[in-house]
A and B are shown apart, each in its own frame.
Chain A
Amino acid sequence: MVNGVRVAIATTFDKLSSRSSIKKLVYVGAIVFLVAFILLPPMLGISFKLDLAQQVLSNPDLLKRAESAIFWSFTIALSVAAFDLIAGLPLAWYIARGRSRWISVIDGLADIPFVIPTVALGYSMLLFWGSTGPVSVLGFSILPGLILVLLLHFAFSFPVVVRVMVGELLTHSVIYETAAKTLGAHPFTIARTVTLPLLRPGLIAAFLLAFARSLSETGATVIVAGVFENGPVFIKNANDAGLQGPMVLVSFTLILSSVAVFAFIRLLGNRLKIPINRVYPGPEARLSSKGSVDLRNGLTFLIFGFFVLIPSIYITFPAMTALTDGTLQKALSGVGVWASFWQAMALSYSIGIIATLINIAAGLPVAILIARKKIGKIGTTLLDAACTVPIVVPSVALGVSLGFFWHSIGFLPEFWILVFAHMTITYTYFVQAMAAAIEGIPTEMEETARTLGSRPLHVFRKIIIPLTKYSFLSGAILTFTRSINETGAATAVSQNLKTAPVLLVSWVKHQVPVTTSDIALGIAFLVLTSFVSLLVLRLIIYRRKT
């Protein structure tokens, strides 16, 4: 009986989906949502308070600080992205093209810094490079400041870069490299004359991702910055001091300039022609030899291990200690500071789930529009670009703007503003994952299904979803995880409510009486979520491969 009802409901909706008026309604609705909730609030919010920026312009000290913060944000972002590319490419190559048994191990390890919430990463690095950490044995230590920020940003963008490039190397066809071999080219020559040029879109994408992450990240940077200030740190400090003017100015500048730099690199990158005119077979053959390759791999492993992996997982030591020194009992019983911790976790989780669900519902139609280019070439490009805006803009600036927007609207409770903020930041991840997956399904399959009598919704349910379910799930999991780990926007928006990462940052800054064990354990709990998600993701992907 229940089945019959289900079928009847499904059939009714299926029939509706054939009508072009209904189809238009769904798509237009999704685009309206995109504009009204994702695009406009950040852009308008800032503009409401632009006059406050005047405050800063008349204060030379503040102005100087603001300028310095913006300058350093971009300098750090650009250099870190470049370093990541250079150091990450050999590792990506090894994972994608290598033939050793260790590859899946390295592959997994490379993901770790990506999945750990940046708060955890920041604290871990603080301890690792600090005066009580293992490096101090060598006679020096790196205290909070510019250098530590550079090391941190290098570490957390490294896995992003590697992941993107592994993906590109795996999908793009090996046949071009084989063809080059039949023409007598050595591996090194092939890499620079064939593979890298073909990889260019991927390299640009990876660079921009690392760049965006560096510009945007707040939580960890705050932890390791000390008195140094980049954009996000400055904004947080201004927020803590209650100075809205500087917040607005720096946010505004960051938003505009990041969009500009992005567009510039995107457009220019693809046009840049690197002439490949000469090959030096002798030296290039030597560079392709086993010895050279081993040296290169060795170096990249060294860099990866010492600068990225170990500093990232160093936090496990204090976390282990916390398990045995009584902190665990304190935590589980919700005593003292731990009460607010669990509240914060509950908040983060609920925001994460709600934001993810909304993104799925609102993002699916947009993903279809982009993947199937239903609104023409120009329309699709615009739509795609519009979806990219939330990740281009530094999340803390986004948060500031959103905060202004929704507070000026007045009636929205803080919980919902937090939900909207997290939703805005993670919207793109889901849309892009689904769009890519749908694009991978040949249109012929949908067309044939329709001629067999299947209505659009029926095609969607029986063909598209089953074939994209892995991307669907990974998109959803990534969105959820990203939301849990978000610090910047939450910091900017929240006045009374604190999400878990924000709470932890305040712990690290000793704004609340806590021990190292407390912090380590708290971070460990947060990391646990991410690890579980990562595990589930890996299981899904491996099941797909078999």
Chain B
Amino acid sequence: MPTLRLLNVTKRFGEIKALDDLTFEVKNREYLCVLGSTGSGKTTLLRCIAGIVKPDEGDVYMDDEKSNLIPAEERNAVYVPQTYALFPHMNVLENVMFGPLAKETKRSTAEETAMRVLKLVRLDKRADAFPSELSGGMQQRVALARGLASGAKLLLLDEPLGALDVRLRLELRSELRKLAKESGLTVIHVTHDQEEAMTIGDRILVLREGQLQQHGTPYHVYNRPEKIFVANFVGNTNFLEAIVDHRNKEGGVVRLRDELKVKVLDSSFEPEEAVIVAVREEKTKVTPEPRVDQPNRLSGEVVEVHFLGSFIRYTVRLTNGDRLAARLPVHEEEMGIKQGDWVSVNFDPSDSHLYEYPPLGLQRELEAS
């Protein structure tokens, strides 16, 4: 059961760096979710670890052994691509037996192992079926079973739930994690769905253009995003451009456009420095009348109201032209706020974070690539 360590791993394809000086560690039996958008390098990462692709610089250590020279078939790390790559000319049982047979296990033992694993994923009754006869969800489970049966201790999953219906995805999320934990596997699960990453992962690693943005528990990454990109990619966040007005014991005050003042709890920036104020949409509140007990009071016009099921999202254009979005749980929506209404917007200073103003501008910083 390996620990995995990447040290300064870089991989180039022509001019582009798919992986850029990546260093991180995965603990034994950990379920790690690598979160990133298309082109962030997450697939290349898995393939480097699997041994399908060799890094240009840096090393991959498996159980403290440098694995650069170990061929893929000897690494004990199973790669499951997004398309599952089930062998179309073999039935379910033969697919699952493939791993053990490739490693020279006796046929009878291989069959036993395969049936045992198929029972685990509840597909033992479909052992004779061919991949083309199965639904997407079933195919995914066969791909997992195949990985489990091979005896590998490290599972590399590339968007395992990506090809499935939204509803099926929700159902299979917990099954996936349960299976991994019960089998004592270490899993690296790549996805672009941040809700998925937060629900399943022990820890999350956020990747952007091949570079590590943040690595920590879901709680940590969500509540203490270290970069603007992370604050935007994980969860829904409002960003306001501001300049530090002054600092004091509790934190300070920043100035938005048109001299609107906002209290913050962060005193790490100098006066007159350009910063970005970030607040989560669910921590942004709107009320029809101003609430005097709130420290940060801004007002504006509601320009959009969107019903999103369990909550309503209001987009407000402040008096200075900045836009903020606020999310309110549906059953709290007794105030009947409509498009065109004038409202008061506020948030608690403890819910805001300050970031250095990005050199390439805010827009560029928010883009995935």
Stretch at the interface among B4-12, B99-107, B173-181, B294-302: B99-107
Check: A422 CB closer than 8 A to any chain B CB: no
Tell me whether A451 and B79 are in contact (CB under 8 A): yes
Check: A442 CB closer than 8 A to any chain B CB: yes
- Which residues on B sit within 8 Å (CB–CB) of A444? 81, 83, 85
Q: Measured between alpha carbons, how far is A264 from B97 in the docked complex, in Å?
A: 52
Task: Give per-residue flags for B38-69: 1 if the beta carbon is below 8 A from chain A beta carbons, else 0.
Answer: 00000000010011100000000000000000
Question: Which residues of chain B from 126 to 151 have any CB-CB distance to chain A below 8 Å in the complex?
Answer: 146-147, 150-151
Q: Measured between alpha carbons, how far is A3 from B147 in the docked complex, in Å?
A: 27
Tell me whether A18 and B89 are in contact (CB under 8 A): no
Q: Measured between alpha carbons, how far is A449 from B81 in the docked complex, in Å?
A: 11
- Which residues on A sit within 8 Å (CB–CB) of B329? none
Tell me whether B83 and A453 are in contact (CB under 8 A): no
Tell me whether A449 and B77 are in contact (CB under 8 A): no
Closest partner residue, chain A, to B154 (CB atom): A451
Tell me whether B73 and A453 are in contact (CB under 8 A): yes
Given contacts A447-B52, A467-B88, is CB(A18)–CB(B71) below 8 Å?
A: yes
Check: A452 CB closer than 8 A to any chain B CB: yes
Given contacts A442-B83, A447-B47, A450-B72, is CB(A11)–CB(B98) below 8 Å?
A: no
Shortest distance from the beta carbon of A24 to any chain B beta carbon, whole Å: 14
- Which residues on B sit within 8 Å (CB–CB) of A456? 73
- Which residues on A sit within 8 Å (CB–CB) of B147? 452
In the complex, how many residues of chain B place their beta carbon closer than 8 angstroms to a beta carbon of chain A?
31
Check: B289 CB closer than 8 A to any chain A CB: no
Q: Measured between alpha carbons, how far is A239 from B98 in the docked complex, in Å?
A: 59
Tell me whether B103 and A453 are in contact (CB under 8 A): yes
- Which residues on B sit within 8 Å (CB–CB) of A454? 73, 98-99, 102
Q: Measured between alpha carbons, how far is A309 from B47 in the docked complex, in Å?
A: 54
Tell me whether B83 and A463 are in contact (CB under 8 A): no
Shortest distance from the beta carbon of A16 to any chain B beta carbon, whole Å: 12
- Our pick among A449, A451, A462, A463 for the contact of B51 (Cβ within 8 Å) is A451
Tell me whether B88 and A453 are in contact (CB under 8 A): no
Shortest distance from the beta carbon of B153 to any chain A beta carbon, whole Å: 12
Tell me whether A447 and B79 are in contact (CB under 8 A): yes
Shortest distance from the beta carbon of B157 to any chain A beta carbon, whole Å: 12
Tell me whether A451 and B104 are in contact (CB under 8 A): no
Question: Which residues of chain A from 444 to 483 have any CB-CB distance to chain B below 8 Å in the complex?
Answer: 444-445, 447-456, 458, 462-463, 466-467
- Which residues on B sit within 8 Å (CB–CB) of A11? 104
- Which residues on A sit within 8 Å (CB–CB) of B332? none
Tell me whether A453 and B52 are in contact (CB under 8 A): no
Q: Measured between alpha carbons, how far is A449 from B50 in the docked complex, in Å?
A: 11
Q: Measured between alpha carbons, how far is A67 from B76 in the docked complex, in Å?
A: 67
- Our pick among B71, B85, B88 for the contact of A448 (Cβ within 8 Å) is B85
Q: Measured between alpha carbons, how far is A319 from B236 in the docked complex, in Å?
A: 83
Q: Measured between alpha carbons, how far is A195 from B71 in the docked complex, in Å?
A: 45
- Our pick among B73, B146, B151 for the contact of A450 (Cβ within 8 Å) is B73
Closest partner residue, chain A, to B89 (CB atom): A466
Count class of interface residues, chain A: 20 to 34
Check: B74 CB closer than 8 A to any chain A CB: yes
- Which residues on A sit within 8 Å (CB–CB) of B85? 442, 444-445, 447-449
Given contacts A442-B83, A445-B85, A447-B52, is CB(A452)–CB(B47) below 8 Å?
A: no
Tell me whether B79 and A453 are in contact (CB under 8 A): no
Give the most central of A11, A442, A453: most B CB within 10 Å. Answer: A453
- Which residues on B sit within 8 Å (CB–CB) of A450? 51-52, 71-73
Check: B78 CB closer than 8 A to any chain A CB: yes
Tell me whether B102 and A452 are in contact (CB under 8 A): yes
Given contacts A447-B50, A452-B99, is CB(A467)–CB(B89) below 8 Å?
A: yes
- Which residues on B sit within 8 Å (CB–CB) of A463? 87
Closest partner residue, chain B, to A456 (CB atom): B73
Tell me whether B87 and A445 are in contact (CB under 8 A): yes
Tell me whether A451 and B102 are in contact (CB under 8 A): no
Check: B323 CB closer than 8 A to any chain A CB: no
Task: Give per-residue flags for A140-171: 1 if the beta carbon is below 8 A from chain B beta carbons, else 0.
Answer: 00000000000000000000000000000000
Tell me whether A451 and B73 are in contact (CB under 8 A): yes
Check: B169 CB closer than 8 A to any chain A CB: no
Given contacts A442-B85, A444-B83, is CB(A452)–CB(B98) below 8 Å?
A: yes
Check: B277 CB closer than 8 A to any chain A CB: no
Give the most central of A18, A442, A450, A462: most B CB within 10 Å. Answer: A450
Given contacts A11-B104, A458-B102, A467-B88, is CB(A451)–CB(B52) below 8 Å?
A: yes
Tell me whether B102 and A453 are in contact (CB under 8 A): yes
- Which residues on A sit within 8 Å (CB–CB) of B88? 467
Shortest distance from the beta carbon of B95 to any chain A beta carbon, whole Å: 10
- Which residues on A sit within 8 Å (CB–CB) of B72? 447, 450-451
- Which residues on B sit within 8 Å (CB–CB) of A445? 85, 87
Shortest distance from the beta carbon of B302 to any chain A beta carbon, whole Å: 38
Give the most central of B47, B81, B102, B151: most A CB within 10 Å. Answer: B102
Task: Give per-residue flags for A193-207: 1 if the beta carbon is below 8 A from chain B beta carbons, else 0.
Answer: 000000000000000
Tell me whether A18 and B73 are in contact (CB under 8 A): yes
Task: Give per-residue flags for A15-40: 1 if the beta carbon is below 8 A from chain B beta carbons, else 0.
Answer: 00010000000000000000000000
Check: B75 CB closer than 8 A to any chain A CB: yes
Closest partner residue, chain B, to A7 (CB atom): B104
- Which residues on B sit within 8 Å (CB–CB) of A458? 102
Closest partner residue, chain B, to A467 (CB atom): B89
Tell me whether B98 and A462 are in contact (CB under 8 A): yes
Tell me whether A451 and B89 are in contact (CB under 8 A): no
- Our pick among A18, A448, A462 for the contact of B79 (Cβ within 8 Å) is A448
Check: B206 CB closer than 8 A to any chain A CB: no
Closest partner residue, chain A, to B71 (CB atom): A18
Tell me whether A453 and B99 are in contact (CB under 8 A): yes
Shortest distance from the beta carbon of A60 to any chain B beta carbon, whole Å: 58
Closest partner residue, chain A, to B69 (CB atom): A20
Given contacts A11-B104, A463-B87, is CB(A452)–CB(B52) below 8 Å?
A: no
Closest partner residue, chain A, to B81 (CB atom): A444
- Our pick among A442, A448, A462 for the contact of B80 (Cβ within 8 Å) is A448
- Which residues on B sit within 8 Å (CB–CB) of A447? 47, 50, 52, 72, 79, 81, 85
- Which residues on A sit within 8 Å (CB–CB) of B150? 452-453
Shortest distance from the beta carbon of B288 to any chain A beta carbon, whole Å: 47
Shortest distance from the beta carbon of B33 to any chain A beta carbon, whole Å: 20
Q: Measured between alpha carbons, how far is A18 from B103 in the docked complex, in Å?
A: 13
Q: Measured between alpha carbons, how far is A11 from B73 in the docked complex, in Å?
A: 14
Shortest distance from the beta carbon of B147 to any chain A beta carbon, whole Å: 7
Q: Measured between alpha carbons, how far is A456 from B72 in the docked complex, in Å?
A: 10
Starting from the known contacts A445-B85, A462-B102, 16 additional A-B residue pairs (CB-CB under 8 Å) come to: A18-B74, A444-B81, A448-B78, A448-B85, A451-B73, A451-B78, A452-B73, A452-B78, A452-B99, A452-B102, A452-B146, A452-B150, A453-B73, A454-B98, A456-B73, A466-B89
A-B contact pairs, 27 of them (CB 8 A): A18-B71, A18-B73, A18-B74, A442-B85, A445-B87, A447-B85, A448-B81, A450-B71, A450-B72, A451-B51, A451-B52, A451-B72, A451-B78, A452-B78, A452-B150, A453-B73, A453-B102, A453-B150, A453-B151, A454-B98, A454-B99, A455-B73, A456-B73, A462-B102, A466-B89, A467-B88, A467-B89
Top 3 closest A-B pairs, CB basis? A454-B102, A452-B99, A451-B79
